A and B are shown apart, each in its own frame.
Chain A
Amino acid sequence: RGPAGRGMAAAAFERRVLRSAAEHHYLRVRLELPDGGARPNAAQFKQLVVTALRELHGEVGAALPVDVLTYEEKTLSAILRVISSGLVKLWSALTLLGFYQNRRCAFRVLQTSPFLLALSGNSRELVLD
């Protein structure tokens, strides 16, 4: 029980809180096209996203830097990356999109996160007993 700890200087900690510091937001989306027509390929998918932005937010919205990181044509699901300040615009544009080449469609946003790693696990798919 000696003054063991007191001889050392107390460790200095500094606390930093970063709010909204992530530069990009990632979205996992799936396009639902119920009729069995031709499926869009990656370029057409990107074109569709840009069209959605243009329809809702105009030219400025269409100029938003959006990247399609992965795209699976079989399931029509993709991971998009967008600048954090543009998340609301992109998400609302995808929500309000109704037609692809005059076919009814719907975008379902499955997951969204400022970290790409977080998109790998989806707690909604857990089956609880």
Chain B
Amino acid sequence: QNIFTVCFSVGYSVVALNHVIDFKEKKQEIIKPVSPSELFPSLPIVQGTSKRIKVLTRLTLVVSDPSHCNLLRSTSANIRLYDIIAVFPKTEKLFHIACTTLDVDLVCINVTEKLPFYFRRPPVNMAIDRGIYFELLYTPAIKDSTMRRYTISNAISLMQICKGKVSSQSENKPLELRGPYDVANLGLLFGLSEGEAKAAVSTNCRATMLHGETRKSACGVVYTVKKPRKVEEEETAVPACKKAKTQA
């Protein structure tokens, strides 16, 4: 609860509640996500605008074994209730599978240790073509100087391979959260250009949200905005028509 007040005060307009499932423990079930309206009776307003903050739900799957991916293919109703799905692969083969065939929106990269596998260009390019973004946690860089070095070096190698299609993520404690512009500045440290760094916090995140909606609807998403002058004509504001792969 505390984190959210901080989030709102710092200037974010959309927040996703993350629920992590680790398959190494036995018998994890995917539970229904807690609906945001239960947590906050009234959402505060984004700074400087008159809209309310949007809260989404997100699921992160920590996979270390190919059999864990079966869960994504199953027609469990609870998975469909999450807005964004992210996967955290632990081995190179799983990374390859996640980039190429799995139906997810984000691939998380662990930055706190020396990666056990190198990124190769073909699966990364395929992931970008499918609209999947990569994700980095920036909180370890705040805690400890060794972690800071690992975070920065992993982030730089990620940037070199994936041409900047990255979004960022924070962790649990309210003091470890940083504002959106601060995080965009960190992107400059990791080797992104200024436009890419700002996109990492804004455009790419929005693209991920739309990708999640596309996945839910199985067809495509078209956002329309009414032009103020001609009322009958509608114009697509964000043409995000992507066909999500329908799972057998």
Cα of A97 to Cα of B144 in the assembled complex, Å: 9
- Mark interface residues in A84-123 (1 if CB within 8 Å of B CB, else 0): 0000100110111110000011101100100000000001
- Mark interface residues in B151-195 (1 if CB within 8 Å of A CB, else 0): 000000000000000000000010111110111011011000000
B182 touching A95, Cβ below 8 Å = yes
B48 touching A123, Cβ below 8 Å = yes
Check: A126 CB closer than 8 A to any chain B CB. Answer: yes
Cα of A128 to Cα of B11 in the assembled complex, Å: 15
Q: B112 → chain A, closest Cβ, in Å?
A: 14
Q: B2 → chain A, closest Cβ, in Å?
A: 10
**Which residue among A91, A95, A104, A124 has the maximum number of chain B CB atoms within 10 Å of its CB?**
A95
Q: B18 → chain A, closest Cβ, in Å?
A: 20
Set of chain B residues within 8 Å of A128, measured between Cβ atoms: 45, 48-50
CB within 8 Å of A: which of B209-241?
Answer: none
Set of chain A residues within 8 Å of B189, measured between Cβ atoms: 88, 92
Given A32-B175, A34-B175, A91 and B185 contact (CB-CB distance below 8 Å): yes
Number of interface residues of B (CB under 8 A): 26
A55 touching B145, Cβ below 8 Å = yes
Given A92-B185, A97-B142, A106 and B48 contact (CB-CB distance below 8 Å): no
Band of interface residues on A: 20 to 34
Q: A119 → chain B, closest Cβ, in Å?
A: 15
Cα of A125 to Cα of B177 in the assembled complex, Å: 20
A92 touching B188, Cβ below 8 Å = yes
Q: B220 → chain A, closest Cβ, in Å?
A: 34
Set of chain B residues within 8 Å of A88, measured between Cβ atoms: 185, 188-189
A–B Cβ pairs within 8 angstroms, 22 of them: A32-B175, A88-B185, A88-B189, A91-B185, A92-B189, A94-B182, A95-B142, A95-B182, A95-B186, A96-B142, A96-B148, A98-B142, A98-B143, A98-B144, A105-B175, A106-B175, A106-B177, A106-B178, A108-B179, A109-B179, A109-B181, A124-B11
Contacts A96-B141, A108-B179 known; 6 new A-B pairs at CB < 8 A: A96-B186, A97-B142, A98-B176, A106-B176, A128-B49, A129-B50
